[in-house]
Structure formats: structure tokens, C-alpha cells
Amino acid sequence: MRPSLIARQWAYHAGPSRFGTYPILLASSAMTSYPDPLPVPAHIPRPDYVPANFFTAPWGEHDMPDMDQDQAANGEKIEFGSEGEQAIRKVCKDAAWILKKVSKIVKPGVTTSQLDEAIHKMIIERGAYPAPLGYSFFPRSCTTSVNNVIVHGIPDDRPLHPQDIINLDLTLFKGGYYGDTSATFVLPDTDKPGRDLVSATEEALDIGIRLCKPGVRYNEIGKAIEDFASRHGFSVNTQVSGHGIGKRFHQPPWIFHGRNTEPGKMEPGDCFTIEPCLVQGSDSKGDMWDDGWTLASNTGARTAQFEHQVLVTPDGFEILT
């Protein structure tokens, strides 16, 4: 058996005052051992990348996953009017519903592990698999990125602080398709700079989505988002990107949120995520923690992220999540 998640004492480490009043998470807080993954009923289909012994083997002794199963050389389009279209709409609707439900329990004192458990429970109750669980050995069912963590924070026993902002990123696998969405939430005592960051990031996502229609170059999304962020005093992290999604978790096209030269134009049936990460200040880069997942800002600045899954239609776009 793997160790239980044992509560630790979490000291308040103040973030850089030039960015506001909030606590930062330190790399030294990275988890070094993990509890057993939350169980998934055997009747729920699992993605091919989940090791066969993921739920039974001691940590570090899992079979190597076949990550090629999650990489496609070319993005597969959604065929309008097909069973596949119905399936992807369903799983995206479920993802959006769960994100809305869990937002109601994002409160001071609640731990990110408790949020993960709530999300896990809702996902399996809907007959879906929590796609992050077992993806490249990821140990939990969602990611929880707080304050200076840009992406891929691992849920743990840290209670949410009244000054926090937190991104919840969840993906479901159901009916052979994936539904992926995320949002950043503010806690009651979040200061104005933090609220401004969150508001601007949500608007940046909206700006990127509104560009979507057949014939538009994918790199126009990044240009528009970076220009908007710069005008509002924020920078865009370019270490992570949006991605095509459908029968695979990640596939082309790759959606970069800053200026880029990625080729390709949108076509009807293209399905992908747009998920910009905005960072306070001009240095958007992050460092990876020793856990191999958590990416935190170099400067201790806060970051925010919003994500929707978008389907390009013959005359525009549709937000599936």
C-alpha cells in the first residue's frame, strides 16, 4: 500500500509585494510520495495510456504506458451528424457540468485533495474516467494550480487560503472521446490585482475563441491573446499549449497562446482546446518542480488559466464545454 495523504503544517509565504498580497507555494512543498489512486469501477473503460497495473502496483513499479496511443500524427476531425459527434458533445457537457458543480465548494479551508476527491466522485458517477489519472503516471484525477503555480499542480493536503486563486483543470474520457475544461476561481480575500488577472485571462480566452471559423490561421489565436495580455500588463506563458482533442487526449493542431508561426488553417470538424495562461508582470516563464509535473512561475507572480473545448463549424464555432 502507498502512504496515506498525511496533513502537513502549511506556513504562509508571502508573494512578491509588487504583484499584490497573497501566499506563494514553494518548490520544497512538492509531494514526494502519493496515496493510492482513487478507485475507478471496473466497468468504466480506461484510456489506453493507463498502465494495466496502475491501481495495484507500488508507486514506481508500474508498467510503462504506451503513450503512442495518445499521440496522433494528424488530428482527427469530428464528423457532423455522426455518433462520434454525439459522444463528444456528451462528454464535454458532463465536464462543464462537473466544473460548475465543484466551483460551489471552492472555499477557504477546503484542501485541494478534497476538491480532487469531489471531482473524481462526480466523474465516475457519470460513467466516465478521470483522464489525468494515470496519464504519464499522474497520481490524481484533476490538476489544482494555486497562485504562482502555472499548470499541473498535484492535489494535496494544503487548505485553500482566503487570498488564493485556484485553477481547476479536469478532463473526462467517456464513449471513446475526451472532454477537457478548466477555470480559475477567486477566494473571498483575493486582492484587486489577483481579480484583475483572473478577469483578463477569462477575456483572453474569449478573444481567442471568437476568432474561430473555417479559413482562419491557428496562429492568429496566439497573436490576439498576446496583444491583449500585453495591453493589460500581463504576459503569456508559452511553455504549455492548447491541443486538438477527440478520440485522443492530445493531437494536432497545437494551439499556442503567444505569437507563433504554427502552420495550418481551421476547417469544419476541427476540435481543440484554447487554454491561455496569463502571468503577472513581463516574465511568463516557469520552473518545473521535482515532482515532474508542477510548473510554477519564476518570479513568484500569480498566474491564471481558463480553458474551453471548441468545435469549428461550417460557419463559425461552437463551445462544447
Domain spans of the chain, in order of start: 77-319
With residue 49 as reference, give the H or E element that holds it: none
Q: pLDDT-based confidence at 41, cuts 50/70/90?
A: very high
Say whether 275 counts as a known binding-site residue: yes
CA distance 229 to 204: 7
Average pLDDT over residues 264-291: 98
So what's the pLDDT on residue 150?
Answer: 99
Average pLDDT over residues 106-115: 98
Average pLDDT over residues 39-61: 93
Average pLDDT over residues 253-273: 97
Average pLDDT over residues 104-132: 99
Q: Which residues contact 285 (CB under 8 A, 6 or more apart)?
A: 237, 239, 297, 298
Q: pLDDT-based confidence at 3, cuts 50/70/90?
A: very low
Grid coordinates given for 161: 487560503
Say whether 203 counts as a known binding-site residue: no
Query: Is the per-residue pLDDT at 6 higher than 60?
Result: no
Ramachandran quadrant class, 218 (left: phi over 0; alpha: psi -120 to 50; beta: rest)? alpha
So what's the pLDDT on residue 24?
Answer: 98
Query: Is the per-residue pLDDT at 53 higher than 50?
Result: yes
Query: Is the per-residue pLDDT at 264 higher than 90?
Result: yes
Say whether 191 counts as a known binding-site residue: no
| Axis crossing angle, helix 83-102 with helix 112-125, rounded to the nearest 10 | 140
So what's the pLDDT on residue 7?
Answer: 55
Q: pLDDT-based confidence at 75, cuts 50/70/90?
A: confident
**Torsion, Cα of 183, 281, 243, 202 (10° steps):** 30
Query: Is the per-residue pLDDT at 310 higher than 80?
Result: yes
So what's the pLDDT on residue 33?
Answer: 80
Q: What are the DSSP calls for 257-292, one per residue? A: SSS-----B--TT-EEEE--EEEESS---EEE-TTS
Say whether 152 counts as a known binding-site residue: yes
Average pLDDT over residues 277-295: 97
Average pLDDT over residues 235-257: 97
Query: Is the per-residue pLDDT at 271 higher than 70?
Result: yes
Say whether 83 counts as a known binding-site residue: no
pTM flag (> 0.75) = yes
Identify the three-state secondary structure at position 101: helix
> What CATH fold (topology level) applies to the domain 77-319?
Creatine Amidinohydrolase (3.90.230)
Share of the chain above pLDDT 70, in %: 95
With residue 297 as reference, give the H or E element that holds it: strand 295-297
* Higher pLDDT among residues 161 and 75, named by residue: 161
Say whether 232 counts as a known binding-site residue: no
Say whether 262 counts as a known binding-site residue: no
Query: Is the per-residue pLDDT at 2 higher than 70?
Result: no
Worst-scoring range by mean pLDDT, 25-39, 225-239, 288-302? 25-39
Average pLDDT over residues 28-35: 85
